[in-house]
Amino acid sequence: MEKSSVVVVRRETNGDDDEGREALFSQLKALSLELLSLSQTPRKDPSAIPELLGLLRRAPPSSLQSFFHYTLFPLLLLLDGAVACRRSQGDAVVVSDRVAEGVVSCLEELLKKCHVGSVDQMVVVMKKLTSGAILTPSEASEEFREGIIRCFRAMISGLVPCVDGSCGCKRVPGWPQLSDGSDYQTQVSEYDLGTGECLVAFLQSHSALAAVGHWLSILLKVADAEASRGHRGSAHLRVEAFMTLRILVAKIGTADVLAFFLPGVVRQIVKVLHVSRAMISGAAGSVDALDQAIRCLAEFLMIVLDDEANSSALCISDDDSKLQKHESAHSVLDQLRSLTIKSQGQQSNELTETTSQEIAHEKSSQKLSGDSFHVERTKEWLEKTTSHVNKLFCETFPHILTHPAGKIRWGFLAAIRGLLSKSPRSLKGARLVMLECVCTLVVDDSNEVSAAAQETLDHLFSERSKYHVESDISKIFSRLVERLPKVVLGNEELPALSVVKQLLVVTYYSGPQFLADHLQSPITASRFLDTFALCLSHNSAFTGSLEKLLADRPSSSTGYLPSITELKVGFRETARNHSEPDQGKLELSQTTTSFTLPRMPPWFSYVGSQKLYEMLAGILRLVGLSLMTGPENNGSLAVILDIPLGFFRRLVSELRVKEYNGEDWQTWCNRTGSGQLVRQAATAACILNEMIFGLSEQATDTLSRLLRKGRDNKLISWEVSWNKRAKTHLIDCVGKILHEYQSPEVWDLPVDQTDQHNISLHFSRDTAMLHQVIIEGVGVFSLCLGEEFASSGFLHSSLYLLLESLTYSNFQVRNASDSVLRLLATTSGHPSVGHLVVANADYVVDSICRQLRHLDLNPHVPSVLAAMLSYIGVAHEILPLLEEPMRLVSQELEIVGRQQHPNLTLPFLKAVAEIVKASKNEASLLPDQAKLYSDQVKTKATDAIASAQERGSDFNVEEWEHILLELNRSKRYRRTVGSIASSCLVAATPLLASTNQVSCLVALDIIEEGVVALAKVEEAYRAETETKETMEEVIEFASLYELKDYMNATDDGADENRLLPAINKIWPFFVACIRNRNHVAVRRCLNVITRVIQTSGGDFFTRRFRNDGQDFWKLLITSPFHVMTPKSLREENKSVLRLPYRTMSDSPSSSSIAEVSSLKVQAALLNMIAELSRDKRCASALDAVLKKVAGLVVGIACSGVTGLREAALNALRGLACVDADLIWILLADVYYSLKKKRGLPLPPSPEFPEISTVLPSLPEDSQGRFLYVEYGGRSYGFEVEFSSVETIFKKMQSLVFADQMSC
C-alpha cells in the first residue's frame, strides 16, 4: 500500500524561551546585514551564506516564524540579483554560482520551516521564483535551477487548510493521492488560521489560475528541457519538477480549476512517456522521473475526471448545470507579464512565452465561460476529452507495461488503481485497456507488483456490479483471442508476452464456468483451439526477429570473440533471462536426475522464450481444467480433445492411403501438403499434452503460485472433484490420445536420411519433433494419472515404444525418451529405469520376441534389443528370459539370415554383445557361490554324520530335501547361463571371418566374453559336483534313497563340457580372421586368442599351432619397409606391400597398407608370444613351434627395425622362460659370429669346450649362415645390424642370462 505524505505542524506556544529568541534574532540580524552588503558587493567572501544555512537548519520552526519577514527580505534581494545577472548581457552585478546556490538553499530551508503569511507575500515569492525558474540551462547552473524548484515546492507544501468548514480547501486532498514515500514531508509552524487568509483557497481561485497555469507550464517545460539535453540533462531536476507538479495539482485539487489545463498537461506528460520508450539512459530515461510522471498524470486525471465531480455530465439529463462565475484573473496576469525577460536563444523564447501560447491554445480549443479560465464540463466535453485520453492510453500504456524497471510498473499499477477507483465511469472507454494492464501485472516478474495487482483484481471482481467487470472481461477475452495470433507471430516478443499474460489472467479470474461456456459451442471451441494451433505451429519458426535468430544460432565466430551484433543480442537476452523468474517451470528432481515436463516444443524457440510458452501453455491447461471442474462431468473434455486429435487421424489416414497405393517415402514426402500434415500433428500433440497436464497437481500448484501468490480466493475455484466418474473419464481420454500416439503409421515415418529413405532434411526434422512431442506426452500423462497410469495398462503399451526411441539417431528424441523413462520409474516407485524394465520384463521381452519373428516388418527390433540391454544395465537380471530372443537372434546370424537381412547383422551382433556381457557377469559370480555352498554342505554333512554316530540321532529329511532343491536350482541357473553364452558364441563365431571390420570386431568381443563365461560355468560345475558327492554320501549313510529322485531330476545329459568343444569350433575362424589381413581385426584377434588360451590352457592349442601356425608366422617374415623385387616375388610367390601413394604392383592381389599398420600387427603378435610363453599354463601351446618362433623373434630383434625392438625383446624374455638355452645360443651365434671370434669369453673350467666349438660354423656366403635362420626360416627386410644385436644381447645378458648363470 502507498504511504501518505506528512505535514508536521509546529504550534507556537506562549512559553517560548525569550532568551533563545533574542539569541536567534541577534544571529539573524548580523547575517542579514552581511547578506545586504553582499547584495551590493557580491564579490565579497560569501561566508555568511553557509553560516545562515546552518542556523536555519538548527533553529526551531516556532522561533524562526517570528523572524520570517526579516530573513526573507535579503534572500529575495540576492535572488533578484542572481537572476538578473544571469539573464542580462549588460552591466548587471555578477552573483557567483556559489552565492546563488547558497541563497536558494537558505530560501528552501526557510520556506520548509515557515509559512507564507499572506496572499501578497505568496505572490511576491512566486514572482521571484518564477523569474528564476524560467532560466535556461545555458543561463543558470543545474543546482540553481533545481533549488528554485525545491523552494517553490517547499512554499506550496507548507500551505494547510484553514479552520473554516465551508472553505473550498476542505474539498481537496491536499497531498498527492498516489504518494509512496516521505519525499513530501515538511515542517511548518502553525499560524493563526482564524485571522489570516486561506492560501489554499487562493490557489483554487480564478485570481491565481494564470499563475498556476504558468507554473504548470514551467514545470513541464523544465522536465522536457532536461530530457532534450540527453546525457547532459539532470535526472534529479526532472524528478523535482514532477514532484512539485504533483503537489501543486494536489493543493489545487478541484476539477473546476484544473479542467482548463487538462489538454496541455496530459499531452506534455504523454510526450514524456513516449520519449522514455526510445531512451534508456540519461535524464529522459530516468526511472524516478518516469515514475513521477506516471503518478502525476494519474493524479491529475483522478481530480479532473472524477465521477463525483462530473456527476452532472455522466447523468442522463436535459438540464444544463449552472456554473458559478469566478472573479477575473487579469490582476495576476498583469503581474506575471510585467516581468522583463530578455531571451538569449530559441530555448529561452520557448520557456518565457509559454504562458501566452498555452492559454491562447487552450482558449481556441475549449469552450470557456466568458473571460475566465473555467471550462463547462458538459457531457459533450467529457466525451470529447475522454476519447482523447483513451486514445493516448491505448498508445502509451502497453509500452509502460514492458518497462524493465519494477519501480515503473509499481507506479503504473498505482496509477491504474487510482483511476479505476475515482473515474470508472468517466474513463469507461479506457477501462478495458486499464483492466488489461492490471491483468498483465498480475503475473509480473516482481512479487511486490504481482501481489498488488492480484489484490486489485480481487477487489474489482468482488464489486462486479460497481465496475461492470463481467461485461468488460467478456469483451477483453474476445479481443485478446483475436489479437493473439498477430502478436505471437509478430517479430517482437515483449508485446506478445504482454497479450498472452493478459489472456491467461482473464481466463483464470473469469472462472472455469466462463471458459466452459465459451467452449460449449463446437464452432467456438474449434475456432479457439485453431487460434492456439496457429500460435504454436511451425510457422512461428519463421516469424522471430533477426536478433532472436542470432541469439539462437551458434556463433559465427567460433574460436574468436563474438561479433558486435551477437554481443548486443546476448546482453539483452541475458538481462531478460535474469528478470524472468522460474516460477512457471515444472521441474521434477531426483538425487541423480533433473528434467522438466512438459517442455517447450523445439520449433517454438525461434519465436519466443520459455516464458512466452509457459503463458500460452497455462491458458491451455486452464482449458483442460475448466472442462473437468464442477460437481458433474458431462464428458465435454473428450469432445474438445477430438478437435486436435482430428489432425492425427488425418495424418494416419493419409499414411494408410500411401501404404495401400504402394508409394515410396520420397514421393509421399515431396507431395504438397504432406509436410503440413506432420507439422499439424506435432502442434496438436503439444496442445493435447498441455490440456491434459492442466489436470495434474503440479500444474494446479504452479498456476496457484503464479496467479494467487499463496492467497485464497473463495470467489474463484479451479479445484476438480476427483470422484470415480471424473477419474474414469480422464483415463478414457488419455487412452484415446495414446491410441493415436502409438499408431504404427506415425512411427513408421522416416527420421534418418538413408539410401532407402531419400527424403529432405526438413521433413526428417519435422518427423523427429513430432516423435519428441509424443514421447513427452507419455511422460505428461504419467504425471497426471500417477499409479493409475500403470494399472490402466498404459505403462505396458508405452514402455516398448520408449525403449525403441532410444535407438533414434536424433538426439532430441533420445533425450526425451531418457527423460520420460526416468519419470516413469519415479512415478511407478522404482529407484531406476533398470528396475522399471525388470518389473515389466515379461511384456518387453514378449514384444521383442513377437517382432523378431517378423523382421521384414520390424527391422528396428535388433537395435531396440541392443539399446535396451546397454541402456538399462540390468540384462543379468532378466537373463533367464533372454533364451528365446537369443535363439531367434542366432537364427538370424546364420548364413541364410544374414543373406535375407544383411543390414541387421551389426545390430544383432551388438545385442548379442550385451547378452554375452551379462552372461559373463553372472557366470563370474557362480564359482564363488557354488564353492561357498559346497563348503556349507560339507560342514553340515560332517556334523550330521558325526552326531548320528555318537548319539544315534536321525537326519532331518526336510532340511536335506531343501538343500537338494537349492542345488538343483543352482544347476538349472548355471545351465541357463551356459546355454546363453554358448548360443552367443555359436551366433558370433562365423562373423570372425567377415570382411566387415566392425562386424568382425564385435564378434571378437563376443568370443572373448563368451569364453570367459563358459570357463566360469565349468568351474561352478566342478564345485557343484563336490556338493553332489557330499549329498550322495549323506544319502547312503542315512538311507535317504527317496532323495535320489530329486538328485537325478536335473541330470538330463552331459552338457557340462562346453568350453573346449566351443573353442574347437572357434579356432578355424580365428585362422580365417588372420588370413583376411584386416590389420585392425588381426590385432584384436591376436589379443583375443591370448585371452582364450589363458582361459582354457595351452595344451589344447599345441597341435593347432603346429598345423595352422604358418598363417601366424607369415606376419613376422617380411618387414613393412622391405620392397619385394620381381625375382623374390617369383621365388616366394608373394605380392609387394605398398602405400596408397606409391606405384601399385602388377599383381591384382597386392594390398596398399601403411607400414605403421603392419608394425602394429607384428608388435601385437610378438606381445602374444611373450604373454603365452611367460604363463606356464599357456606355454605348452608353443611347444611344437618353439624353435620356429624363437628363430623369427631373434631375427626381428637383431634387425635394424627399431620400431619392433621393444616388442621383440619382450618376446625373447618370455621365450627364455620356456627354453633359455635355446635363446642364448641363437643370440650368441649372431653376436659372436659378427665379432669374428674376437673377445670370446673363456670357458668357466677346462672341462668345458670353447664357445667357438659350441657355436655352429656355417659358410659366410650362405643365406642361412646363422642358426636362427635355420630354425625360423628366411625373412625379408630384417637384415642383421650389429648395433641391434649388441644391444639385444647385452640386455638379455643382464635381464635373463645373468640370473640363470648365478643359479
The pLDDT score that the predictor gives to residue 373 is 66
Q: What pLDDT does residue 648 have? A: 93
CA dist 654 and 509 (Å) reads 42
- From the list 517, 495, 527, the residue with the least C-alpha distance to 401 is 495
The per-residue pLDDT for 720 is 83
Q: What's residue 195's pLDDT? A: 47
Residue the block writes with cell 551564506: 49
Mean pLDDT, residues 880-892 taken together? 72
Percentages helix, strand, coil for the chain (3-state, rounded to 5) are 70, 0, 30
Between CA 996 and CA 908 the distance in angstroms is: 14
Mean pLDDT of 1127-1156: 47
Q: How big is the CA angle at 129 (ends 238 and 224), to the nearest 5 degrees?
A: 25
CA distances, 215 to each of 148, 249, 416 (Å): 12, 11, 26
Q: 333 pLDDT band (50/70/90 cuts)?
A: very low
DSSP state of 829: T
Determine the average pLDDT of the residues in 436-443: 88
SS3 state of residue 491: coil
440 or 888, which is more confident? 440
The closest of 691, 706, 763, 671 to 536, measured between CA atoms, is 691
* pTM for the whole structure: 0.71
Which tops the pLDDT comparison, 677 or 9?
Answer: 677
Structure-derived torsion over alpha carbons of residues 903, 904, 908, 911, reported in degrees to the nearest 10: 90
SS3 category, 715: coil
State residue 966's pLDDT score: 87
Contact 246, 152 (CB under 8 A): no
Q: Decide: helix, strand or coil at residue 407.
A: helix
> Is 70 exceeded by the pLDDT of residue 961?
yes
Model confidence band, residue 349 (pLDDT cutoffs 50, 70, 90) = very low
Which residue matches cell numbers 570382411?
995
Q: Residue 1090 above 90 pLDDT?
A: yes
Which of the residue ranges 571-580, 1102-1111, 1129-1138 has the most confident prediction, judged by mean pLDDT?
A: 1102-1111
Specify the pLDDT at position 223: 87
Alpha helix (H) ranges present in 901-996?
A: 905-951, 957-988
* pLDDT for res 330: 37
Average pLDDT of the segment spanning 639-663 = 91
What is the reported pLDDT for 1048? Answer: 62
pLDDT of residue 1094: 92
Nearest CA to 761 out of 753, 773, 772, 770 is that of: 753
pLDDT of 1278 higher than 60: yes
pLDDT at 1085 exceeding the cut of 90: yes
d(CA 2, CA 202): 29
- Cβ atoms of 218 and 271 within 8 Å: the answer is no
**Residues in Cβ contact with 1284 at an 8 Å cutoff, skipping those fewer than 6 apart:** 1197, 1198, 1199, 1200, 1202, 1205
Cβ contact 1000:1073 at 8 Å: yes
Residues 326-346 have a mean pLDDT of 37
Statement: residue 157 has pLDDT above 50: yes
> Which of 572, 550, 574, 573 minimizes the C-alpha distance to 562?
550
pLDDT of 143 > 50? The answer is yes
pLDDT for 1241 equals 65
Cα–Cα distance for residue pair 1297/179, rounded to 1 Å: 102
Q: What is the pLDDT of residues 1222-1244, one digit of tens each?
A: 888 888 888 888 776 556 666 65
Cell of 1268: 636362427
Q: What is the pLDDT of residue 1138?
A: 43
The C-alpha atoms of residue 226 and residue 146 are separated, in whole angstroms, by: 11
Residues 6+ apart with CB under 8 A from 1089: 1070, 1168
For residues 413 and 450, the answer to whether their CB atoms sit within 8 Å is no
DSSP 1052-1105: -S-----HHHHHHHHHHHHHHHHHTT-HHHHHHHHHHHHHHHHHH-SGGGHHHH
For the chain, the average pLDDT equals 78
Number of Cβ atoms within 10 Å of the Cβ of 775? 26
1173 contacts 1179 by C-beta, under 8 angstroms = yes
Look at residue 315 in the predicted model and tell me its pLDDT: 66
Contact 336, 420 (CB under 8 A): no
Residue 718 CA to its chain's centroid (Å): 29
Q: What is the pLDDT of residue 371?
A: 43
Total residue length of the chain: 1303
Percent of the chain with pLDDT over 70: 77
What pLDDT does residue 503 have?
92
Least confident segment among 127-136, 418-427, 860-869: 860-869
User: What's residue 1008's pLDDT?
Assistant: 93
Give me the pLDDT at residue 782, please: 92
In which band, very low, low, confident or very high, does the pLDDT at 753 lie, cut at 50, 70 and 90?
Answer: low
Residue 190's SS3 state is: strand
**Who wins on pLDDT, 149 or 1146?**
149
| Residues 1181-1211: tens digit of each pLDDT | 988 899 899 989 998 888 888 888 899 999 9
312 or 148, greater pLDDT? 148
632 Cβ contact partners less than 8 Å away, ≥ 6 residues apart: none
β pairing state of 587-589 and 186-190: unpaired
- Listed in sequence order, the residues at least 6 apart from 768 whose beta carbon sits closer than 8 Å to its beta carbon are 751, 808, 810, 812, 813
Contact 280, 231 (CB under 8 A): no
Band of residue 752 on the pLDDT scale cut at 50, 70, 90: confident
Examine the pLDDT at 651 and tell me if it is beyond 90. yes
CA atoms of 678 and 774, how far apart (whole Å): 12
The stretch 13-28 carries a mean pLDDT of 71
Q: Which helix (H) or strand (E) element contains residue 750?
A: none
Residue predicted with more confidence, 327 or 1025: 1025
Write out pLDDT tens, residues 804-859. Answer: 888 788 888 888 988 899 898 888 888 888 888 888 877 777 877 777 777 666 67
d(CA 268, CA 262): 10
Structure letter (DSSP) for residue 991: G
User: What is the chain's Cα-based Rg?
Assistant: 49
- The whole-angstrom separation of Cα 719 and Cα 458 is 18
pLDDT at 629 over 60: yes
Give pLDDT tens digits for 224-267: 888 888 788 888 888 999 999 999 888 888 888 888 888 888 88
Tell me which amino acid residue 617 is.
Answer: A
Predicted local confidence at residue 44, as pLDDT:
55
The runs of H, that is alpha helices, within 253-345 are 255-258, 262-278, 287-304, 311-314, 330-337
Calpha distance 1083→1074 (Å, rounded): 9
pLDDT at position 361, please? 43
Mean pLDDT of 1266-1273: 83
Q: Above 90 in pLDDT, residue 693?
A: yes
DSSP state of 11: E
**The Cα angle at residue 868 between residues 864 and 872, in degrees rounded to 5:** 165
Please give the C-alpha separations between residue 1097 and each of 78, 977, 985, 1065, 1181, in angstroms, as whole numbers.
Answer: 116, 22, 19, 16, 8
Tell the residue number behind the cell numbers 541402456, with chain if given.
871
The DSSP line for 582-595 is STT--EEE-SS-EE
Q: Which of 2-16, 82-96, 379-393, 1139-1153 has the highest mean pLDDT?
A: 379-393
Quickly state the pLDDT bin for 678 (edges 50, 70, 90).
very high
Between residues 1252 and 521, which one has the greater pLDDT? 521
Angle at 573 between CA 568 and CA 574, to 5 degrees: 100
Average pLDDT estimate for 195-220: 82
In this predicted structure, which of 271-285, 496-510, 715-729 has the lowest mean pLDDT? 271-285
Residue with cell 474438445: 640
For cell 517451470, the residue is: 585
Cβ burial, residue 1061 (10 Å; 0-12/13-18/19+): exposed
148 near 132, Cβ under 8 Å?
yes
Q: How far is CA 383 from the centre of its chain?
A: 51
User: Is pLDDT of 141 > 60?
Assistant: yes
CA 1106 → CA 263, 756, 1112, distances in Å? 112, 49, 11
Which of 426-435, 565-574, 982-991 has the weakest average pLDDT? 565-574
H or E segment to which residue 659 belongs: helix 636-661
Q: What is the pLDDT of residue 464?
A: 61
Angle (nearest 5°) at CA 945 between 943 and 948: 105
